[in-house]
Every structure is written in C-alpha cells, then in structure tokens.
Amino acid sequence: MPGKKLDDERTSDCGLAFGLTSTAPGFPADDLGESDPIEVFATRFMREPWRFPDKHIELASLSVAMIVRNDETNIARSLESIKDVANEIIIVDTGSSDQTVEIARSYGAKVFFHPWNNSWSEAGNICLENATCDWVLFLDADEELIAEDVSRLAELIQDIDRSRFYLSEIYYIGEHEEDGAVSNLSFSLWRNKSEYRFADGGKEQLKASAGPNDPSVGVAEVRVNNFSYLNRPNTGKAQRDLRFIVGEPDDGSGDSSIRIKVGVDYLAQGDFKRALETYKRAFANLAGSDIQNAARLVSNMSLCLKGLGRHREALKLLRDAQDAYPEYADLFYLEGLVHFEERDYASASTCFEACLTMGSRRSLYYGHSGVGSYMAAYMAARTCLALGNEAKAICYYEKALALNAGYGRAAYDLGLLLMRKNGPENVRQILESQVDPASEAVLSSLSLLFSQTGYYDIGLIYIERLAERGSAPSQTALLKGECLFNLGYFKEAIAEFDKVAISSRHYSAACANKSVCYMLIGDSKRAIEAIDLIKSIEDFALVHAIYRSVASLSKGQASSISLNDAEKDSALEIVADLMGKLLELKNLDVFEKAVALLDEFGLSPGESSLFLGKIYYDAGYNEIAVEELIHAYESGSADGESFYILGSTAFDNEFFEEAKTFFFEALHRGVEELGLFVLLGRTLIKQGEIGLAAEVFDAGAGKYPNSPLIAELRQSI
C-alpha cells in the first residue's frame, strides 16, 4: 500500500537521522518492552509536548495535601510556597480551635474534617481519597517548598517514567534558622493511584519496599524546609515520629532515610549522643555508591559533634569531608559555625566567605540554598560585629537582605546596629528600601525591633500591617498586646492577650503577660486567675510558680515557692526578665514585691546585690546599679561581669584610676569582651600609661586578630 510504504520510509528516515541502532539513545527500557527501537523513539517523540507547540497538550496536575490541627502560625507560609504550582489543595483538619481552617480556605483549599483518633494513616487516606489531580505532594503545615525549586517541581510532575519521588527535606535544629540544619530524603511526591494508600507510620511507609534504587522511584532536585523542630526543644512531634518508625534493625541496616529521620528526631529532643550513634550506624551500612546520603550523614554527624561540644572532632570530620565533597556548601558553613562558637572569628569569616563564593548553585547534594547566600552573609555580618568592624557588618547585613529580602533576622540586627547612629525614622526608611514589605517574617521582625527599642508607635504600625495579612492572628495579638503593655495601656493589652488561641504556642506567654497587666492595675485576684490558666503546662511550670508568687505578694499574701538546685538558675532568669519589665514601666511598687521573692531563692545578701545590680544597670538605673555592685564586691560576691560594669560606669564619669582597677579585675576574672580591651586601653592612655596600653591592645589583637578597631587604636599610639 502506498500509505504504508510512505510511513515506513518516514520511520526509516527518522531512524537514520538520529543514528538509531538497537536501542533508543538516552532512554531506559520501560513499559514499551522489546519493541523495535524506531517504534520506541517514535512513541517517546510523540509524547514530548514541546515538539508540537500548536497542539493542545494537557499537562499533569498536582494536588497538595496536608493534615492539620491548630497550625495557624505556620500554614500560611506553607500554602504561600506552593500556591503557584498546586492545582488543588486538600486539607484534612483534625480538630483546630484556632484560625487554621480560615487561613487554609483563604488560599482556596478544600477542607475536610476528621476528628483525631491517633491514626495518622486514616487522616492521610482521607486526603488521598479526595485528591483529584495526577500527582500528590504531601506536606506538613510547618514545611515549605523552597522558592527557587517551584519550577523544578512543575517540570517534575510531567515525568513519564517515574511514579514516586524522594525530595530533599531540610530540618532546622536550634533556636534560629542559621543555627544549623540536618537533611534527609523524604518520600513526599507520588502519582495519584488508588493502590497508593497509607498503612501505619506516616507517609514514609507508603513506599512499601521501594527505595531510591527502584526504577519507578526518583530522587528529585526539589527541597522542602521543615521548621517543626525550630526553637521547640523536646517537641512532642519528635516523640510521635519515633513511635511511628518501628521494626527497623538496631544495627542501622534498614532504610537509611528512615535511620536519618530517627536521628533528626533525637536531635529535636536535644539528644545529640543518640543522634550521633544513629547516624554512625546508618553511615556504616550505606551502599558505596550512595554519595548523597553519605554527604548528608557527614554533615549531620558534624552537627551532633558541635552540639556535644566536641569541636575538634567536628572540625576534623568536616575538613576530611570537604575533600570528598568539595561542592557541598553545608560542610563549609558548619565549619564556620564551629569556629564561631569557639570565638575563632577569623577562621569563621573565611568559611562564610567560602560559602558566599560557592553561592547557591545546583550541586549533587541539594543542601539549603541559604548556606551559600543569605545565611552565610548574615553569619559573616555577626563575625564582623564580633571583631568590632561595624561598617563591614552593615555591608554583610545588607548583602543578606539583597539575597533574601524576606530575611527578618537580618532586618532586625541591621536595624539595631543602625539605631545607634540614626533616628528611628531614618532607620525605618533605610530598612524599608531593602526588605520585602509583604514578608510576614520582616513585619514581625520590624515590629519587634521598634518595640524593643522603645519606639512603640512605629512598632504598632508594623503590627497592624501584620494583622491585615491575617495569617498569624495569635502571634499578631501577642505582639500588639506587648506593645500596648509597654505603652502603659494595660486594659487594652489584656484585650489583645485574650485573643490568643488556647492551642497557640503563644498562649502561655499571653497568660503570663496578662497576669502582669492585672498586677499593674492592682487586681491581684485576676492576676492569679490569669497565671493559673497555664499551671498544667509543664514547660511553663517555673513561670507559673514565680508569677503566681509575685501576684500573691502583691495581694499581701505570703509566697510559697519551692525550687531545687537544678531549677534555680532558670528561675532567676525568669525573675530578672519580670523585674526588667517592671523597671522599664517604672512600677517600683510591684518591683519591690518581686525583690522580696529573692528571699525564697536562698541568696546571700551579696548575691542578691549582684543580681539586682545587673538588672538595674540593664534598665538604665546606673547609680543604683553601682551601689548594689559595690555592696556585692564588699560582700565577696562580685564576678567578672560586675567589675566590667563598674569599670564602664567609672570610665563614663571620667574616674579613670577606678576604671583601670575595675577593668583589670574583670580581665583577671576571665572577661574577654572586645569592648573590655578597648576601654581598658583608652583608660590607660588617659592615665598616660602608653606602654601598658600598647600591651593591652596587643592582647586584644591576639583575641580578635581581624578587629579594625583594635588595630586602629594600636596604631594611634
């Protein structure tokens, strides 16, 4: 037949043109079986939508699914990260009492309700049963898709060879994002098929026997940030996850990604030792070709060693690993953090500079993009500040914001630095020219910056902008309440604290602040009622005991607080924070009640004077601070910090002989702050002791070798 002949000729020409022989180049064998190689190529060629731009091709679609409960603080960030790639959002709410559902619906989510019955898989399967798209991406509310990987995810779901994908999940461990993170492969993306359903143990169990080497499973260059353990020690989520992971061999020979996740959960509970042991076992059982997990495990083990204070071992491991994985920026960033903890700021600076040179380029390891950009710039700024180079620190803070205009920490720290030489309005203009004005993190940071520096009216402006977004109502109410509290509007502050949801992690702080408000308006009964709202919250047991005792003393009742030795230091920190608030508000009546509480701590008169002197000094009551610290000295209770304070006060009042004595005593007692070397050297110059001043500056240069301030002062004499 002529038509058949023409088809054969075209097919033959196609084969010759592309040099096809026995197999189609670049294409693995798949469901096409042992077909003729030309037919294989032709079939694949027809599948590629970009071959025929005028032909309508229906692209694969994506359902994003989540199980949520009282996640109003995080869910907006998560949904914001996927809104441009998701065709539908499926939410199963298991009993929220805050604004989680309202926030989800504002993003167009389909919300289904299912009471929590301790079965994660049951709730997860409700998500899957209601998903209608070709692919499912399963996230937690405290996870976010990294912005620069959104386009990669959109490309990924057009894949015709794979059915399931591992994504790189980055878990933040510590108080702040830049404090360090561990990473792992997470099974989070799969085709929407009826046979893919959850059993026990969460989404990791969906993969059954599939692993990264299964031909239907891919490892994607897509990263997800996980904030569930950030600034949340001993989190219950970590304990739940550990219970999910059952049946894994103790020798670490099981699935390496699950073993790494076990280590993450131990880290979240602050158990660096068990995390390290888990990672070591997993590393010993890795396949020789598993470069990605090997690099991850080395990074994770280094973070454990850092957490255990085993800095020398951490540095050796990191340097050996850098030779093996020279493009893995996380290793250089972690080395910088270790040096920073050791106060070896020159070495830390070198590491962070190396990270910035490497940048956020794509590599085999898919680490956090921030370690090659904004986080490295932020830590470089902190390093410069520690070395006394404020001008260079400002440049690095600005670079961090240029790399990530939504990085609230950099905006806050830069603002504090600028506030020393600029008025609040100038600082506001400078910051607003560099930040993302729609970023929730930026708005929160700017509200804190201006509130904590006493410019509450400006702080309220940013809080109102945050409230307009509606994405974190409890956090916003707490911030606004604290601002009104500091302005002395106690009843209005109480009204804001009442808006904080019971389920919110901000609830305990709101109750404590509300209790203080009632004390300050003379309503001790309600102060006790407010603080009793958190008496059953274990993590706030000390806060409850101390605030209730002060409220009882304000009411004229006796205080009864029982502390063991392990609780004493933490309790004193809580008392110091409360006293600082009261001094700032100039409410000396309630302050005196709190002072009376010190009798319950078993402090000697000298120890009480030392404690109070530091509080007075921080609040700006310098004369009273000096009196208390002198009394502490006379009682034999003074420490290095108190002598540094006394020296600084004497220097400010031009009592240089006394300042010299106090500063040398501070040095003798182990204080090694950059400012101490600077002030002592200047004091000696005022006294005409140039040779001794040079020795002090040389000693300072030994501790802070890259400090331009020390170098400038040394050169001046």
CATH number at residue 350: 1.25.40.10
Q: Which of 411, 617, 443, 649 is nearest to 419 (CA)?
A: 411
DSSP β-bridge partners for residue 92: 67, 112
How far apart (Å, rounded) are the C-alpha atoms in residues 497 and 530? 11
DSSP β-bridge partners for residue 206: none
How far apart (Å, rounded) are the C-alpha atoms in residues 565 and 487? 37
How far apart (Å, rounded) are the C-alpha atoms in residues 149 and 146? 6
Which helix (H) or strand (E) covers residue 225, if one does?
A: strand 217-226
DSSP β-bridge partners for residue 138: 65
> Among 404, 428, 455, where does a domain finish?
404
Q: Which of 469, 397, 375 is nearest to 146 (CA)?
A: 375
291 shares its domain with 330: no
265 shares its domain with 339: no
Domain count of the fold of the chain? 3
The pLDDT score that the predictor gives to residue 401 is 98
DSSP β-bridge partners for residue 174: 230
Q: Residue 138 has what DSSP assignment?
A: E
The pLDDT score that the predictor gives to residue 200 is 63
The pLDDT score that the predictor gives to residue 369 is 74
Cβ distance 450 to 459 under 8 Å?
yes
Amino acid of residue 697: F
How far apart (Å, rounded) are the C-alpha atoms in residues 57 and 46? 11
- Give Dmax over CA atoms of the chain in angstroms: 114
299 shares its domain with 340: no
pLDDT at 483 over 70: yes
Cβ distance 59 to 50 under 8 Å?
no
Which helix (H) or strand (E) covers residue 278, if one does?
A: helix 272-284
DSSP β-bridge partners for residue 68: 93
Task: Kindly state whether residue 712 falls inside one of the protein's structural domains.
Answer: no
Cβ distance 543 to 534 under 8 Å?
yes
296 shares its domain with 240: yes
Q: Which of 329, 136, 350 is nearest to 321 (CA)?
A: 329
* Average of per-residue pLDDT across 538-562: 87
The pLDDT score that the predictor gives to residue 530 is 97
364 band by pLDDT with thresholds 50, 70 and 90: low
Task: Kindly state whether residue 364 falls inside one of the protein's structural domains.
Answer: yes
DSSP β-bridge partners for residue 110: 90
Pairing of strands 143-145, 110-113: unpaired
The pLDDT score that the predictor gives to residue 105 is 97
Q: What are phi and psi of 534, to 5 degrees?
A: -115, 20
What six digits make up the tokens of 262? 């076990």
Percentage of residues of the chain with pLDDT beyond 90: 61
Cβ distance 625 to 647 under 8 Å?
no
Task: Kindly state whether residue 542 falls inside one of the protein's structural domains.
Answer: no
User: CA end-to-end span of the chain, whole Å?
Assistant: 102
The pLDDT score that the predictor gives to residue 244 is 41
How far apart (Å, rounded) are the C-alpha atoms in residues 304 and 525? 47
Sign of CA dihedral 554, 558, 563, 569: positive
Pairing of strands 181-191, 88-93: unpaired
How far apart (Å, rounded) are the C-alpha atoms in residues 478 and 509? 8
3-state secondary structure 454-502: CCHHHHHHHHHHHHHHCCCHHHHHHHHHHHHHHHCCHHHHHHHHCCCCC
How far apart (Å, rounded) are the C-alpha atoms in residues 99 and 76? 11
Find the CATH number of the domain harbouring 242: 1.25.40
Amino acid of residue 203: K
Q: Please, what is the average pLDDT of the chain?
A: 85
302 shares its domain with 239: yes
pLDDT in tens, 124-136: 999 999 999 999 9
The pLDDT score that the predictor gives to residue 645 is 98
> Among 257, 282, 308, where does a domain finish?
308
Q: Which of 308, 67, 296 is nearest to 185 (CA)?
A: 296
Sign of CA dihedral 267, 269, 270, 275: negative
Sign of CA dihedral 244, 267, 184, 280: negative
Give the structural domain span for 355. Answer: 322-404
Ranking 13-27, 211-225, 479-493, 511-525 by mean pLDDT, the lowest is 13-27
pLDDT at 357 over 90: yes
Residue 329 neighbours by CB under 8 Å, 6+ apart? 355, 358, 363, 367, 371, 372, 376
How far apart (Å, rounded) are the C-alpha atoms in residues 79 and 472? 13
pLDDT in tens, 584-606: 999 888 999 889 888 888 889 99
Helix (H, G, I), strand (E, B) or coil at 391: helix
Q: Residue 142 has what DSSP assignment?
A: T
Q: Which of 575, 605, 608, 601 is nearest to 590 (CA)?
A: 575
- For residue 465, count other CB atoms closer than 10 A to its CB: 17
301 shares its domain with 341: no
How far apart (Å, rounded) are the C-alpha atoms in residues 471 and 631? 51
Residue in the structure block whose two tokens are 């304000």: 554
284 shares its domain with 339: no
Task: Kindly state whether residue 275 falls inside one of the protein's structural domains.
Answer: yes
How far apart (Å, rounded) are the C-alpha atoms in residues 454 and 536? 34
42 band by pLDDT with thresholds 50, 70 and 90: low
48 vs 424, higher pLDDT: 424
How far apart (Å, rounded) are the C-alpha atoms in residues 445 and 410? 9
Task: Kindly state whether residue 331 falls inside one of the protein's structural domains.
Answer: yes
The pLDDT score that the predictor gives to residue 20 is 34
CA angle 686, 688, 692 (to 5 degrees): 100
Which helix (H) or strand (E) covers residue 183, if one does?
A: strand 181-191
What DSSP letter does each residue of 424-460 carry, written as one string?
HHHHHHHHHTTS-TT-HHHHHHHHHHHHHTT-HHHHH
331 shares its domain with 374: yes
Cβ distance 259 to 281 under 8 Å?
yes
Cα-only R_g, the chain:
30
The pLDDT score that the predictor gives to residue 36 is 61
CA angle 561, 562, 564 (to 5 degrees): 145
Cβ distance 23 to 37 under 8 Å?
yes
Task: Kindly state whether residue 255 falls inside one of the protein's structural domains.
Answer: yes
Residue in the structure block whose two tokens are 């109750």: 511
> Among 404, 430, 454, where does a domain finish?
404
pLDDT in tens, 250-273: 444 455 667 777 888 888 788 999
Q: What are phi and psi of 151, to 5 degrees?
A: -65, -35
Which helix (H) or strand (E) covers residue 166, if one does?
A: strand 164-172
Q: Which of 140, 83, 133 is nearest to 109 (CA)?
A: 83
177 vs 412, higher pLDDT: 412
Q: Residue 70 has what DSSP assignment?
A: S
Q: Angle, nearest 10°, between helix axes 408-419 and 440-452?
A: 30
Q: Which of 243, 389, 251, 371 is nearest to 318 (CA)?
A: 371
- For residue 172, count other CB atoms closer than 10 A to its CB: 23
The pLDDT score that the predictor gives to residue 209 is 42
360 band by pLDDT with thresholds 50, 70 and 90: confident
What six digits make up the tokens of 140? 């937690």
328 shares its domain with 398: yes
335 shares its domain with 379: yes
Task: Kindly state whether residue 298 falls inside one of the protein's structural domains.
Answer: yes
* Average of per-residue pLDDT across 448-456: 93
- Count CA atoms closer than 13 A to 362's CA, side-chain side: 8
287 vs 475, higher pLDDT: 475
Task: Kindly state whether residue 239 falls inside one of the protein's structural domains.
Answer: yes
Helix (H, G, I), strand (E, B) or coil at 97: coil
Q: What is the dihedral of CA 49, 51, 56, 58, to 10 degrees?
A: 0
The pLDDT score that the predictor gives to residue 561 is 79
What six digits make up the tokens of 290? 């598993």
328 shares its domain with 400: yes
